[in-house]
Structure 1
């Protein structure tokens, strides 16, 4: 199976397992900058050079050798599951994508027809009941993850532990997993543990939120979107994420972790 979702600097200073909706654009740009002293001009997901990616055939050999021999510092980044699934809804379901079209073609029309989801009209700019619509999307997300119907789960709302586990099961070892909510601390630790060709001043790095502006603005605080039923659904979907990455399942308003991530536990539970 190899190492899907892995990005590595060309200098092989660091290896990163991409987890969608968890600061991956900013991390990718920091990696690119640490090799080249400049940011990639555009969305880092579109870069076809300057950064090794498993999706590029020429990168697979260098990544495989590096990861299996654990030559470089390997890390990933996680996010509160409540905030992550909400972000996926506003970006991928309600928002227009970079190509000016809806995400995945007929996905949104199917959600409108079969689940009663509203997305703010053709352009996503009309008012709609965000809370009701999100809760209906959540039922769809649960169906895709639990029963793989009416489609396989999309990478943007499939579990973080699912993404992170492929790296471990195929022979990789993480040196660190940090939280989006404490991004500066986590990324500073990565940079302190690596030797990069170009120095990186973390305080001067902008945040590359490539999904910003794609969809309507969130009209309510995170906790307003989750009643008892939707909290139960989120726990059903992301139980392992809450437990391994130490987020508060009881309180959607608390985005911060409530414990320390145990890397040994993560490797043991996701490596089976």
Structure 2
């Protein structure tokens, strides 16, 4: 399998396992800047040069060598499961993508037909989100009516591929404390260009794709929604130390990469 979803600077200063909906656009741009002294002009996910990506054939050998040897500082970033699934809904289901179309073409019409989701005009955000959550559970638990999408599949599933194939994380930090976590990465690596996090913008590529969330996080989750969340993201809550009650809070404890390696590699 190798290291899907892994990016590495061309200088070999740092490797990062992408977890969708967890500040990956900003992290990718910081990595790009640290090598080139400038940001990539566009969505960093579209970059075909300036950054090693596992999806590029020419990048696979250098990523494999660096990550398996343990010589490159390797990290990832996680997010509160409640805010992450809400972000996936408002961006990928309720939103219009950069190409002017709905995400994955016929996905939303299928959700309207099979799950009764409504994302047109001034729709009922809470009701439609809860129906989407049922669909997300079906994709993750039963792989029906489709395989789970990377934007709502469990963070632990993304993170586990690097460990299963011989890599280890030096640091795992939460988006809720992004500045501190990213600074900890920069403090432990040497880069061709210095990065001043205070002057780095947030590259939220999904911003503006969909409607704004109209209510606090906890309003979207009733008893059934809470049950579904823990059913499908139980390992995320436990492994990354998030409270299983609906909120937008950071982890209750520091995330231990050794514990993550032991559990995901077992």
Specify the SS of the correspondent of 2:15: strand
- What SS does structure 1 have at the residue aligned with 2:33? helix
Matched, 1:215 2:215: no
2:197 counterpart of 1:202: yes
Q: What runs of 5+ residues in structure 2 fail to find an aligned partner?
A: none
Residues 98-131 of structure 1: CA deviation (Å, up to 9, x unaligned): 11111011110000000000112xxxxx101000
| Contact 1:177–1:263, Cα closer than 8 Å, also in 2 | yes
Residue 176 of structure 1 pairs with residue 171 of structure 2? yes
The equivalent of 1:123 in structure 2 is: none
Matched, 1:87 2:87: yes
Shift of 1:253: 2.4
TM (norm. structure 2) is 0.99
Unaligned runs of 5+ in 1: 121-125
Instruction: Say what the alpha-carbon RMSD is for the aligned residues.
Output: 0.6
Query: C-alpha separation between the residues in 2 aligned to 1:98 and 1:55?
Result: 21
Whole-angstrom distance in 2 between the partners of 1:136 and 1:74 = 37
Q: Which residue of 2 aligns with 1:129?
A: 124
- CA distance in 2 between counterparts of 1:262 and 1:247 reads 13
Output the CA distance in 1 between the equivalents of 2:172 and 2:256.
Answer: 9
Cα offset for 1:70? Answer: 1.1
Per-residue Cα deviation, 1:30-51 (whole angstroms, up to 9, x for no partner): 0000000000000000000000
Q: How does 1:214-233 map to 2 (within 5 A)?
A: 214-233=209-228
Which aligned runs of 4 or more in structure 1 are off by greater than 2 angstroms? none
SS at 1:199's partner residue?
A: coil
**2:263 is aligned with 1:269:** yes
- Report the secondary structure of 1:16's partner residue: strand
TM-score normalised by structure 1 residue count: 0.97
In the alignment, is the contact (CA less than 8 A) between 2:9 and 2:32 conserved in 1?
A: yes
Structure 1 residue 193 corresponds to structure 2 residue 178: no
SS of the residue corresponding to residue 105 of structure 2 reads coil
Match for residue 7 of structure 1?
Answer: 7
In structure 1, the partner of 2:247 is 253
Given that 1:83 and 1:255 are in contact with CA atoms closer than 8 Å, whether structure 2 keeps it comes out as no
Shift of residue 254, structure 1, vs aligned partner: 4.4
Inter-partner Cα distance in structure 2 for 1:254 and 1:232 = 17
Q: Match of 2:70?
A: 70
